Amino acid sequence: MDFDLNEEQKILQRSAADFLKKECPKERVRRIEETEEKYSPDLWRKMADLGWMGLHLPEQYGGTGWSFLSMAVLLEEMGYNICPGPFISTTLLGCVPLLHAGTEDQKQAILPGVASGDLILTLALAESDRGYEPSTLKVSGVRSDESWVIDGVKLFVPDALSADHILCVARTSAASEPGAGLTLFRVEKDHPGVTVTPLKTIARDNQCEVAFDHVRLGPESVIGPVDEAWPAVKAALDRAAVGRAAEVVGAMRATLDMTVAYAKERVQFGRPIGSFQAIQHYLADMWVDMLGTRNLVLQAAWKLSTGEPADREVSMAKVRAGRMGRKATTVGHRIFAGIGFTMEHDLHLYHRRTVAADFAFGDSDSYHERVARALGL
């Protein structure tokens, strides 16, 4: 066993922390949140110049070829600094299905554009019953001569406003078994019949409704085998879930740092509130919660990087981060009290994201259910 990052990962961690501290201060986060797309083309370009967009892409597509674990290390730093934008949507939800199931032509057409920072992607998956299980998907893809016609509404599609391409999971035949009958299509956002409507969230991220109204696509739009898209989609979903959990670990670390600093300087009853055991015990718990969540997230990222089945590790990491991220920011509010309940203070920026992360790519109940299945229940 080795609980340490390797040298490359440590350098990545340090350089990401330095870059984000300088380029992504909280004033900028707040300004970006005020835009409709919730993203800054300028910051995106700089991140691409550092090689972040292609960090885990093979070199022949303009990437660096590092492991998913390195992505998790980067995402923890992005979470620490609340780096906004369609990073997970593009690099994980968008690229992973292409890497897993795309043809060489499809990969060449998209991935180098992602690595250079020119293309933004996302994945349209969940629908009105908010599930991320394949059985809940009803948006239809019907074959018509050589082409396909997509109809239906996708919800909670992240970053669709800024995306150039949307990958859409559609039901192309009845499910003969769980996961069967689904096909993945690539659609350009301005394709006739595609309507993107932003959904305003308390997390102040960009979630969208994407309506497909008789969207006619050519056969080249199909990514991977017809009716058998689920393995590639699940690979993306698992990585996005762990990526989001890694961001939560960063947010928990940041919340702990902010709160500990405040508990040392805030004086009540003639002494720093951090000298009261009520506060000390809150913070000790927050610290241990963060360290344990971090271990599960790194374990899941490591397991995914080995290519072995990782359902158990992924589900455990996602559900732990979802619950503990919310707990940490909630406790942070207890300690900051009144000042933390203002727009002026930074804590809410984290809390908005930790609560959103708990519901991202499936809620805690759904991940607990996946753990239960992994236990043999």
Tell me whether residue 287 or residue 359 sits nearer to other proteins (CB atom). Answer: 287
Residues 46-85: x where in contact with other proteins by CB under 8 A, - otherwise, as a string:
-----------------------x----------------
Contact 227, 264 (CB under 8 A): no
Give the CA radius of gyration of the chain.
Answer: 21
Handedness of CA 161, 241, 287, 351 (dihedral sign): positive
Smallest gap, in angstroms, from Cβ of residue 65 to other proteins? Answer: 17
Residue 7 interacts with other proteins (CB under 8 A)?
Answer: no
Residue 280 interacts with other proteins (CB under 8 A)?
Answer: yes
**How many CB atoms sit inside 10 A of residue 208's CB?**
23
Binder of other proteins out of 274, 325, 340, 362 (CB under 8 A): 274
Contact 261, 347 (CB under 8 A): no
CA distance 316 to 368: 8
Of 364, 325, 363, nearest in space to 347 by CA: 325
Tell me whether residue 13 or residue 201 sits nearer to other proteins (CB atom). Answer: 13
Binder of other proteins out of 157, 258, 279, 357 (CB under 8 A): 279
Per rule CB under 8 A, count of chain residues that contact other proteins: 47
20-52 as b/e, with b when 16 or more CB fall inside 10 Å?
A: beebbeeebbeebbeeebbbbeebbebbbeebb
Beta strands 267-268 and 222-223 are unpaired
Smallest gap, in angstroms, from Cβ of residue 320 to other proteins? Answer: 5
Structure tokens at 183: 């096909």
Residue 237 interacts with other proteins (CB under 8 A)?
Answer: no
Residues 105-144 that bind other proteins (CB under 8 A): none
Tell me whether residue 131 or residue 193 sits nearer to other proteins (CB atom). Answer: 131
Residue 292 interacts with other proteins (CB under 8 A)?
Answer: yes
Binder of other proteins out of 46, 302, 359, 363 (CB under 8 A): 302
Tell me whether residue 122 or residue 329 sits nearer to other proteins (CB atom). Answer: 329
Beta strands 121-124 and 165-171 are parallel
CA distance 51 to 91: 12
Residues 352-371 that bind other proteins (CB under 8 A): 365, 368-369, 371
Q: Phi and psi (nearest 5°) for 139?
A: -55, 130
Give, in degrees to the nearest 5, the angle at Cα 253 between 16 and 331: 150
Q: Binding segment for other proteins among 49-57, 167-175, 234-242, 293-301 (CB under 8 A)?
A: 293-301
Contact residues for other proteins, defined by CB under 8 A:
1-6, 9, 69, 256, 260, 263-264, 271-272, 274-277, 279-281, 283-285, 287-288, 291-293, 295-296, 298-299, 301-303, 316, 319-320, 365, 368-369, 371-372, 375-377
